[in-house]
Amino acid sequence: MTKADIVNEIAKNTGIDKATVLTAVESFMEVVKDSLSKSENVYLRGFGSFVVKKRAQKTARNISKNTTIIIPEHNIPSFKPAKVFVNQVKK
């Protein structure tokens, strides 16, 4: 399902025009991205959590040049679904 499919489905279910729904969906995504970039987690009860995970520094190998490189510590976004969500998908 794409963002356009989500917008169409929400517009159909709510009766709100697509332009307004698109604005709301894009605004939601921007708020989540801004929060995660500030290392603030986003919790949506019954749906899941968007969290920032810290990856430790590690050593990797560049096989083509036969060298080792150090990948520095960094943060990555992650999504952890709620138990209700997981159980609904399992059915």
Residues facing 62 on adjacent strands: 67
Number of separate domains in the chain: 1
pTM of the complete model beyond 0.85: no
Whole-angstrom Cα Rg for the chain: 19
Q: What is the pLDDT of residues 39-85, one digit of tens each?
A: 999 999 999 999 999 999 999 998 898 999 999 999 999 999 999 99
pLDDT at 67: 92
Distance CA 26, CA 82 (A): 23
Closest by CA position to 80, among listed 58, 50, 37, 39: 50
Confidence (pLDDT) at 79:
96
Q: What is the CATH classification number for the domain harbouring 19?
A: 4.10.520.10
Residue 23: domain span: 3-90
Q: Is 7 exposed, middle or buried, given 0-12, 13-18 or 19+ CB atoms closer than 10 A?
A: buried
